[in-house]
Structure 1
Amino acid sequence: MYYAALNDNWQIRPLSEFSHGIYPRNDDGWLPAIVPAHWQQLPGLETHSGKVVYRCRFPYSKPADSIPDERYWLRINGVFYYRHTYFNGVDLGAHEGYFEPTEHDITALLRTHNTLIIEIDCPDEHNKVGKRMITGVFSHWDCFDPQANPGGIWLPVELHRSGPVRLHHARLRTEHCDAHLAQLRFALDLDATQATPIQIEISFAPLTFHGETQIFTLQRRLRSGTQTVAGLLKLREPRRWWTHDLGQPDLYQVTVRIWLNGILSDEQSFAYGVRTFELRDWIPHLNGERFLVKGNNYPPGDMRIATMNRERAERDLALARDCHMNMLRVHAHIDHPAFYDAADAAGILLWQDFPLQWLYRPEVLPAARHQARAMVRLLGNHPSIAIWCMHNEAIHLEDTADESLAARLRTYQSAFIFSWNRDVMDVQLKKIVEEEDPTRPVVRSSGEPDVPYVRTGTDAHAYFGWYRTYGTLADGEAVRARFPSNLRFVTEFGAQSFPNLESSLRFMPDPLDEAAIKRLVERHGLQADIMSAWYPWRQAKSLAEVIELSQNYQAELNRFYIDRLRYHKYRPTGGIIAFLFVDPYPAVLWSVIDYWRVPKRSYYALRDCFRPQYVFTLIEPRTFTIGEAIDLPIYAVNDAREPLVGARLTIRLCDPTDSELATVIRYLDLPADSLATEIDRLRLTPIRAGDYTIELRLSGAGPEFINRYRLTVVATGEMKTQ
């Protein structure tokens, strides 16, 4: 049971070496600290990395409502990264890991005046291909602030109290559910001072709907010490949790109470959604119902993750819902607890990555095994979490902007031959998580390509049209035709773009000069040379022109991928997850929303591409020649649970002078959750060079929607791929 948060009277002291919990009692050398926060948020520590010690002095007096044999617990919810805790001079032990809460029984140590000491070490990772901290994107990524160190106490430190039996954690998972009955398995992690009989009460109270509260009462006998009590419950006529596009994300308030001789010894309460999720050959099914995943990669809501809260998380999830997304991939990190609660309420599924990004030294394996299990136990009650993934791109990568031959060869070798991280560590982690949670799919590592007769891949990453290592969009089309299994579930694609003008001016000049570009490369993520390979942004005369070029290219590239993946819906595509949703700090990245949550043009373009009812064409990514016969197939798809009846599609084809060459009107009737269906097929034989336009206007299916495509015609001999 919660008692008090230790939010006040914190001090901090940067160190070169620890003193095993023994520090001067006076205030010399100590600075005022904020908890929770990152130490780089504090004056004088803006660039500090490595070692610090925190100190908190607080009073204690026995509360008036104390119960017999009361126990007190120090709960530390989250610290980057290594920590050692001392309470009133007593060593409480060391801990590694930034997201796993720990609890210490301090009943016998509490005094009228108390001193808590926490020694913390969060060094920078200098060996990027042999990292040693399981911090994922907080220590190494192409989208993180290179000057930021996450060190600090980033979640609250609390005092809890209980009776003789402490309920450390209550876990639930849905093994089966339909409209009539849900079978739930519970596991309660308990700590008892002595062998004793207890009564367990588990109640399910409707949180988002009206209905009866169902209460389950069980009798158990405990032995002394820590143990887990498990069993099965059958919930009658459950209200199931759905994504926002399939139904309502209905939740129960679950309360677990431990009674000892008629006295409440401890309790916990949390929101819970009853639902099942499966991947059947990478086609997702929620509560047995097939659907198409549409989403984006979610970085830390802020690289200063301690600053996130429920309100900020809800704003991000509202932007995702408005963009017709039903899944976010929590990219190579564990996010703030408020984010998971908000995702449950918003009806957004989460692909949850374990915090492994690129390569780690073998010595991390014991810590990784422990923390993988901790991740599942910490987050497993959230209905929003649908998929566990153990590693992002377990390949040799130091800097994605480095496209030298040597860098490519190292990457190819680790991707296709052998990677200890993927082939040893990730295999073990996958097995641990499957044992811990058999109700969710577990992916060994994200971004493993499927190569016939060599290996069965996982989800795919596709950066054709951005990284030259991948190649052009035409190269992507060749891969799509030859290796269709890589279309099953795509979890990364995209291009960088500048934020809108007002946001860009917060951290760059107008116009850009070479010094400013260099700073953007070094400090704000810009991959300038790669961007220059696709369009001449350096020749732009103003920052506004640079922004327009980059956002237009990003929007067109995202649509290129989504059109093809929606064409392959369920044949074999089950998921479309772009990269990236928001900027975690002021930067020039792959995001469609900037750090200040201002949507880019590419956000609105993505929203159009993810509409439930969508019309599109597939045009080869190249220029065409005069006199060439060009087929223009027109497709429509409906992802909604209801049929589409009587929608009007107007197809308009114009030449380079905007003169109308053809107008076709079709009325659409599509079944619920339809596959992509060819509605018409136009043929264009151009007689002049220039840009031709195909306009698709859909009305009668929500707000009117217009999709415009351009194809470029040149004289014979001038054709080129894109």
Structure 2
Amino acid sequence: MFLSRTRPRLLSAAITTLAMIAVVAVSGSPAAHAATVSSSELSSGWALRSATGLADSGATISQVGYSTAGWNPVSLPSTVLAGLVANNVYTNIYAGTNLQSVPDLTGQDWWYRGQFAAAATSPGQVYWLRFKGISYRAQIWLNGQQLDANAVGTFVAHEYNVTSVINPGATNAIAIRITPPRHGCNDLSVCTVDWNPEAPDMNAGVWGRTFVDTTGPVAVRDPYTKTILPLPAINSADLTVYTDVINATSAPVSTTVTATISKAGFPTTTVSQVVSLAANERREIVFDPAGYPALHMSNPALWWPYQFGSPELYQLSVAASVAGAASDSKAINFGIRQFTDYRTAVQGTTFAGYKVNGQPILFRGGGYVWDMLQRWNTKTNKAHVDYVKSMGLNTIRLEGTLGNEEIYDLADAAGVMVMPGFVCCSAWENDSGWSAEQEQVAQASLNTQMRALRAHASPFMWNYGSDQPPNAVHLAAYKSVATGLHWQNPTLDNVATWSNANAGMKMDGPYKWEPPVLWWDTSRQGSAFGTTGEEGTEAPPPLESLAKFLTPAQQWPVGGTAWNYHVGRGGSVFDNTGVYTTGLNRRYGTTTSAADYSKKSEVMNYENTRAFFEAWSARQHTQTFGSIWWMQNNAWPALHWNLYDYYFKPGGGFYGTKKATEPVHIAYDYSGKNVFVVNSTLVARNGLTATVSVHNVPDLSQKYTTSVAVNATANAGTQVLTLPSITGLSPTYFIRLQLKDSGGTTISNNLYWYSTTADALGNKKNWYSTSIKTYANLTGLNSLPSNSAVTTAASRTVAAGQETVAITVTNTSATNIAFFLRPEVTAGNGGNEVLPVTYTDNYISLWPGESTTITAVYQSTDLGGQQPFLRLRGYNVPTASTPVP
């Protein structure tokens, strides 16, 4: 770090060098009085402006009473662009090509200024100022005194002991001068690579939460419980508690550190030790079972991913006291669980697999990204985790989108795993020419982010690199950081075998649309074998969402300037949907309007994601070990790479995924014509019956049927039959799969549409796609008779601001299928679907005379004061809307 001459000395040079945590020393001896222990987030009362044209120094701007007339009022956290958008300096920037009208905001510095009231002082009280995320470089002043001349690193936390600078019980002023990251991902900052345009400010600003804390002379930091099980047994656990304590004074101090582990309904465990700290010392304190037998726990409640069990959480509370007086305390939740990894060779390459509590688990997930302006709140974070769980996925991959700690908390509670790591294709991977400062920032970034992640139950591994591994020197430094932090989960050097044969994961595409057969044909790159760090395809959102960011003229014909602007990074191979649109037109019939394009794309998105996750699930733990769909969601309204769109409207990709990942599921193999039953739970399901029938389109005449008995092994896929060659089929036909238990209850119901002209792949063309030689003929779907004989009934319950709607849909036609039905709860008659929303099922198809009931759940406030209506539409069913009582 570069320090100004007026800055007080650092508390701990070693910690500062490694973790970039700057701490200002304070004089005085501890007193035997209970200090105020508090933490206040500094979110309101801030102002933002460009540093250009402002001659005042930070020493002046950080004086109480300094006028910010003409500045932009902002609430923190906020990037520069987010603050300007909130003040309508730039408006509607996600629509069309409006983002292009925002100038480059990185060629100037930016001032943030805020005032806050500090708590009144008490004997021995210490004040701390903490920043969870500043990008990229900052000069920080408090009450006219510079705290830091170069707080650098987007993913580095910065903390200061400001006791000698604070105005206790009075108003205080902070000034922060921000220097933005460089464009082109040339700094160790946020990089969105090629999935959307770069933010004009490169996400500069105070993007993380900011706090002022008060403690006594000894502060507690980063408590963490590491859990070890006696695998394969899981009837006990050894817990090791780590915590840092800081002597914030310039004199030696003796402190009692107490750790308490508790959970309702279970015995409480308390351990403590007396520690002598030198002046200004920061030290890690350890409680382990060897020294504290109470930390050997019998019959603990384990944390499980939700499909395997309950995600049970304990609480760890760590307190420090001095001379009997409370000095500081921290409490966190943690899970008792253990992730381990193993390697298996498939097709000549060794791939990584993972176990939780001794049970192999197929990780299935998507790549999460935050909003392009890094705006989020609890509702948004919760919706993401709820949607992952609703889709039946168990993993969220974070490729460089690190630091949204509420996501970790929500994933812990939901039983969803987290796969964190650094981003590709940027300064993070172009590390051969790093400066000394960049090396420091990289290690400090890992230190900060691992400290935030290590205590959580949900992370099951860490990726040091994405497409490519760090060089040997930097990788060794990273691993040293992880060892020093007692990281308890597996790690990978990177997740792409093309750059590192021992990576353990492959990343061989595709990234553009391919027909479902590719996922199943294991002779092809990108198919379902081994472990994949990412792959995915284009995914235009439903028309209702398109209309929110594209005008009618921009929606149709597809492929115009505004359309392509929302596909991928301009100038990249992902700046158009040409491959996708060709496949749509060739397979489903030439589209004639935006509505027709959206209608057919929803069906194709469903078909594609369903096949992807089915193929990865069918041979789990023998040939497949984990897969990430690229991407889970979008940073802005986009037409490429998502399972649900920016507005949280679940579409075909969402429901295709949801169908494929049912707890017990029956699936069709497009390549081998096999039928699999996949049991993704830890409980075997015996006495099942699988029935397959094949029907012509449009008359539904049956051309083939068979039934077989099935015992579905726990946590495995089982091949149950192979479809023979069938004569007399129409060019487009249906394959109907049903799985029932011994009592006749349907466990899984799955309908496929395919063709006597099968999709055929050409040779591998490039790193992002495989050429397509022949397209399936699915145009027979367009000849399905219109079916207006579908009825609906709905009932609603409201509790604690949440509404639950039971929707019964019945196909009363005696002859016609109701294909690809979409029930939606809308805000008012003809309004948009209420969002976010979860349904137990959707995009359903009903045979003549069939009925089904699904459930929708949403928040009352998301109706916007409108009455809920039930809208029903389908591929061959006209739109109808009725009020929900």
**TM > 0.5:** yes
1:236 aligns with 2:297: yes
CA distance in 2, matches of 1:387, 1:227: 28
**What is the CA-CA distance between 1:611 and the residue it aligns to?**
1.5
What is the match of residue 502 of structure 1?
A: 544
Q: Tell me the matched-pair count.
A: 666
CA distance in 1, matches of 2:650, 2:519: 28
1:173 to 202, 226, 229: 226
Q: TM-score, normalised by structure 1?
A: 0.84
CA distance in 2, matches of 1:715, 1:329: 31
1:711 aligns with 2:759: no
Report the CA distance shift for 1:481/1:513 in structure 2 as closer, same or farther (over 3 A). Answer: closer
Q: Are the counterparts in 1 of residues 505 and 530 from structure 2 also a CA contact under 8 Å?
A: yes
In the TM superposition, 1:7-46 aligns within 5 A as 7-16=43-52, 21-23=58-60, 25-27=66-68, 30-41=71-82, 42=84, 43=87, 45-46=89-90
What is the match of residue 703 of structure 2?
A: 661
SS of match in other structure, 2:129: strand
What is the match of residue 122 of structure 1?
A: 180
1:314 to 382, 385, 390: 382
Report the CA distance shift for 1:183/1:518 in structure 2 as closer, same or farther (over 3 A). Answer: same
1:284 aligns with 2:354: yes
What is the match of residue 648 of structure 2?
A: 597
The superposition leaves residues 609-655 of structure 1 with CA deviations (integer Å, 9 ceiling, x where unpaired) of 112212223233xxxxxxxxxx7322222121111122221111234
What is the match of residue 350 of structure 1?
A: 418
Report the CA distance shift for 1:235/1:365 in structure 2 as closer, same or farther (over 3 A). Answer: same
Q: TM-score, normalised by structure 2?
A: 0.70
Report the CA distance shift for 1:3/1:685 in structure 2 as closer, same or farther (over 3 A). Answer: closer
**What is the CA-CA distance between 1:483 and the residue it aligns to?**
7.7
What is the match of residue 366 of structure 2?
A: 296
SS of match in other structure, 1:684: coil
Deviates more, 1:29-38 or 1:236-245: 29-38
Q: Are the counterparts in 1 of residues 559 and 577 from structure 2 also a CA contact under 8 Å?
A: no
In the TM superposition, 1:33-432 aligns within 5 A as 33-41=74-82, 42=84, 43=87, 45-46=89-90, 47=102, 49-50=105-106, 51-60=109-118, 62-63=120-121, 66=122, 68-93=123-148, 94-111=150-167, 112-125=170-183, 127=184, 131-137=186-192, 140-143=193-196, 146-147=199-200, 149-176=202-229, 178-193=234-249, 194-206=251-263, 209-231=264-286, 232-233=288-289, 234-237=295-298, 238-281=300-343, 282-300=352-370, 302-305=371-374, 307-358=375-426, 359-360=429-430, 362-363=433-434, 364-394=438-468, 421=470, 425-426=474-475, 428-430=477-479, 432=481
Moved over 6 A (4+): 471-478, 482-486
What is the match of residue 674 of structure 2?
A: 633
Q: Are the counterparts in 1 of residues 729 and 756 from structure 2 also a CA contact under 8 Å?
A: no
Q: Are the counterparts in 2 of residues 145 and 585 from structure 1 also a CA contact under 8 Å?
A: no
Whichever residue aligns with residue 656 of structure 2, its letter is: A
Whichever residue aligns with residue 339 of structure 2, its letter is: F
CA distance in 1, matches of 2:135, 2:758: 57
Report the CA distance shift for 1:509/1:698 in structure 2 as closer, same or farther (over 3 A). Answer: farther
SS of match in other structure, 1:534: helix
**What is the CA-CA distance between 1:477 and the residue it aligns to?**
6.6
Whichever residue aligns with residue 250 of structure 1, its letter is: E
SS of match in other structure, 2:724: strand
What is the match of residue 41 of structure 2?
A: 5
CA distance in 2, matches of 1:488, 1:515: 36
Deviates more, 1:664-673 or 1:31-40: 31-40
Whichever residue aligns with residue 247 of structure 1, its letter is: G
CA distance in 2, matches of 1:570, 1:484: 18
CA distance in 2, matches of 1:20, 1:489: 54
Whichever residue aligns with residue 298 of structure 1, its letter is: Y
The superposition leaves residues 195-230 of structure 1 with CA deviations (integer Å, 9 ceiling, x where unpaired) of 222111111121xx4223221122222122232233
What is the match of residue 607 of structure 2?
A: 556
2:496 to 447, 466, 472: 447
**What is the CA-CA distance between 1:96 and the residue it aligns to?**
1.6
**What is the CA-CA distance between 1:707 and the residue it aligns to?**
3.6
CA distance in 2, matches of 1:609, 1:195: 61
CA distance in 2, matches of 1:642, 1:202: 37
Report the CA distance shift for 1:5/1:335 in structure 2 as closer, same or farther (over 3 A). Answer: closer
Q: Are the counterparts in 2 of residues 465 and 534 from structure 1 also a CA contact under 8 Å?
A: no
1:466 aligns with 2:512: yes
Whichever residue aligns with residue 150 of structure 1, its letter is: N
Q: Are the counterparts in 2 of residues 332 and 357 from structure 1 also a CA contact under 8 Å?
A: no
Q: Are the counterparts in 2 of residues 495 and 554 from structure 1 also a CA contact under 8 Å?
A: no
Report the CA distance shift for 1:141/1:424 in structure 2 as closer, same or farther (over 3 A). Answer: farther
Report the CA distance shift for 1:502/1:143 in structure 2 as closer, same or farther (over 3 A). Answer: same
CA distance in 1, matches of 2:333, 2:205: 28
Report the CA distance shift for 1:21/1:702 in structure 2 as closer, same or farther (over 3 A). Answer: farther
SS of match in other structure, 1:319: helix
1:517 aligns with 2:591: no
**What is the CA-CA distance between 1:325 and the residue it aligns to?**
1.4
**What is the CA-CA distance between 1:656 and the residue it aligns to?**
5.5
The superposition leaves residues 154-209 of structure 1 with CA deviations (integer Å, 9 ceiling, x where unpaired) of 23322111111122332332234632232324132423422222111111121xx4
SS of match in other structure, 1:506: helix
**What is the CA-CA distance between 1:260 and the residue it aligns to?**
0.7
CA distance in 2, matches of 1:702, 1:159: 56
**What is the CA-CA distance between 1:276 and the residue it aligns to?**
0.7
CA distance in 2, matches of 1:477, 1:249: 32
Report the CA distance shift for 1:210/1:442 in structure 2 as closer, same or farther (over 3 A). Answer: same
Report the CA distance shift for 1:60/1:78 in structure 2 as closer, same or farther (over 3 A). Answer: same
1:647 aligns with 2:696: no
CA distance in 2, matches of 1:22, 1:715: 68
**What is the CA-CA distance between 1:462 and the residue it aligns to?**
4.4
CA distance in 1, matches of 2:212, 2:247: 16
Q: Are the counterparts in 2 of residues 615 and 707 from structure 1 also a CA contact under 8 Å?
A: no
**What is the CA-CA distance between 1:27 and the residue it aligns to?**
3.5
CA distance in 1, matches of 2:517, 2:721: 24
Report the CA distance shift for 1:521/1:603 in structure 2 as closer, same or farther (over 3 A). Answer: same
Q: Are the counterparts in 1 of residues 609 and 657 from structure 2 also a CA contact under 8 Å?
A: yes
What is the identity percentage for the equivalent residue pairs of Structure 1 and Structure 2?
19
**What is the CA-CA distance between 1:485 and the residue it aligns to?**
11
What is the match of residue 415 of structure 1?
A: none
SS of match in other structure, 1:547: helix
**What is the CA-CA distance between 1:106 and the residue it aligns to?**
1.1
Report the CA distance shift for 1:114/1:185 in structure 2 as closer, same or farther (over 3 A). Answer: closer
SS of match in other structure, 2:445: helix
**What is the CA-CA distance between 1:387 and the residue it aligns to?**
0.9
CA distance in 1, matches of 2:136, 2:326: 35
CA distance in 2, matches of 1:715, 1:199: 70
SS of match in other structure, 1:169: strand
Whichever residue aligns with residue 146 of structure 2, its letter is: D
SS of match in other structure, 1:481: coil
CA distance in 1, matches of 2:131, 2:441: 18
Considering only aligned residues, what root-mean-square deviation do their CA atoms show, in Å?
3.2
The superposition leaves residues 436-468 of structure 1 with CA deviations (integer Å, 9 ceiling, x where unpaired) of 344211112223338xxx82233223433727x
**What is the CA-CA distance between 1:375 and the residue it aligns to?**
1.2
Deviates more, 1:43-52 or 1:584-593: 43-52
Whichever residue aligns with residue 388 of structure 1, its letter is: W
Report the CA distance shift for 1:250/1:144 in structure 2 as closer, same or farther (over 3 A). Answer: farther
CA distance in 2, matches of 1:345, 1:692: 43
**What is the CA-CA distance between 1:704 and the residue it aligns to?**
3.9
Deviates more, 1:358-367 or 1:377-386: 358-367
CA distance in 1, matches of 2:650, 2:75: 32
